Amino acid sequence: MIRFFTVTVGVFCLGFSVHADDPIAEIVDGAKYRIINRKSDLALDVMDRSMDKGAAIIQAKPDSASNSQIWQVVKSNVGHKIINYHSVRAVDVRDGRMKRVGQMIWQWDIHGGEAQQWYFKKYQNKGYVIYASGGLALAPQGGSKDVGAKIVQLRWANSSAQVWDFVPVSGVKVLKK
């Protein structure tokens, strides 16, 4: 059975077809995850495992020893913050341009502003679309399957490059909110 859902964010409207079988796990506030792209099978990471603010968010080969691929999801007033376990910095839309198609995603000091508010929408019960407050979805630049591709925000294109799996990580200390 297929159901159609619509999410409205500001003036943007995103539609998703969702299958009613094979439910996926809910994203849990405060939990830690490796976030894996459905198209590339690569993990969300910080370029060069940097701890610096302004470092690009990229996709990299999944590495269970890499703390820079661990992300904590923290509920905020209007969405969620995604915080890197290694750098303790938040996923952020560069320069706060939430409505700019192709805008790069980077890590920045946690401030909880609009550029750090993320929303999750299940997609066909196979993963989640991560979208910013401007209504654009996260994806590797150009839908790339390449290691090192930068993560950007794009209009919803019904592409597996815009769908992410949240794989729980256990045995690491919870970050302060």
Share of the chain above pLDDT 90, in %: 73
In a domain, 61, yes or no: yes
pLDDT of residue 157: 95
Residue 14, domain member (yes or no):
no
Judge contact between 37 and 59, C-beta under 8 A: yes
Q: What is the CATH number of the domain that holds 108?
A: 2.80.10.50
42 assigned to some structural domain: yes
Q: Does residue 126 fall inside a structural domain?
A: yes
Distance of CA 3 to the CA centre of its chain: 24
Conformational region of residue 125, where left means phi above 0, alpha means psi within -120 to 50, and beta covers everything else: left
C-alpha 170/C-alpha 48 separation (Å) is 24
Please, which pLDDT band fits residue 144 given cuts at 50, 70 and 90? very high
Domains contained in the chain, number: 1
Report if residue 92 sits inside a domain. yes
Residue 15 pLDDT level (bands cut at 50, 70, 90): very low
- Give residue 48's domain range: 28-168
The answer to whether residues 138 and 164 touch, using CB atoms and an 8 Å cutoff, is: yes
